[in-house]
Structures are given as C-alpha cells and as structure tokens.
A and B are shown apart, each in its own frame.
Chain A
Amino acid sequence: MVKLGRIFFAIPLGVFGIQYLVLANGEAAFPQSLPGQPAGTFLLMSPGLSCSRSV
C-alpha cells in the first residue's frame, strides 16, 4: 500500500511540476504571487492555482 500510495502521490507532483514549467510565463500562470512581487516570483507547486474547478 505504501508503494501504491507513493506512486500515485509522486506522479501527479511530476505533472504539476511540468505544468508549472510550461505555464511559467508570467502573471497568467501565477496570479497569486505575493503583493509587491513580480509574477512568478514564487515558483511553488500548488494544485488549483490556475484552476477554476471545485473537485
């Protein structure tokens, strides 16, 4: 179960990382950068940052 959990947990992280690398082109990809900081300053992986869905 640990192995299954780790695989299912790790693969999405890789996908999120690739998504951010692909989308890391400015404000559109990082709408929630800290106030006063340029967009994209915080290259954090956070699912849902650029999403408009609830599930």
Chain B
Amino acid sequence: MRNQTQGQSVSWFDITGTVPVFYQAQTALLTSLVRSLPLAFVAIAIAMMILLKSVRAGLFCSVPGIFPIAVVFGLLSWQGYVLDIGIMLTGSVAMGIAVDEILHLLTWFRIAIGKAKVGSRRSCWHSGIVALR
C-alpha cells in the first residue's frame, strides 16, 4: 500500500497496539468454534451410540444437545448481534451442560424402561418425575 506523507513515499506500514491482537484472537476463536462444534457433536453422538448400543438412538438422543445452541445463536444472529469472544465461549459450555442433563434423563429413562417393562411413553412419565427436580 502506498501512501504520501510529508512528501516521501511509504511503501508499507504495520498496525500496532491491542486492536489487531484482539481482532486476530477473535478471528481465531471464531474459526476454531466453527471447526470444533461439529467435531464435538460427532464425538458426543458416537459416545451416545456406544452408550445406547444403537446408531439411530445415539443420533436421536444427541439432537437436544445442539438445540440450545441453535436457538440462542440463531436468535442472536437474527437480532444482528456481532459474535464476540464472550458469546463464542458460551457455545461449547452450553453444549456440555445440555448433554449432561440429557444423560441424566436418559439414565432415569433406562432405569424406568427396564423396571416397568412398558413402552417409552410410560417410562418417560416415570423418569420425568424423578428427573424434574
């Protein structure tokens, strides 16, 4: 880039300070978020498949794990919020917490479905009472 300052030509210049550092950190965080969220979803789905011993059940039960991120990040981008470091950090944390709660409920659900020997609807009712606390 060429710039005329005080009669002499400047062929290049560096932007210094905290702003480019912050910008680069934010860009790196955003790209790593985009790369790591699908990876985390795949890893969680594989873990669910191993736990439930069924590919379809594993995929089915990992859907509520991405629901909070889809809703909140979708609403944020709809309202025009710019993603910053604080918002980016929340994505993976929320995914972990959602999966934790799903595993709690699924454990109760499996206990109920094994004890009652009834269908999923009834087991859901029994496990829901315990898990709602």
Does B associate with A? no
Report which B residues bind A (CB closer than 8 A). none
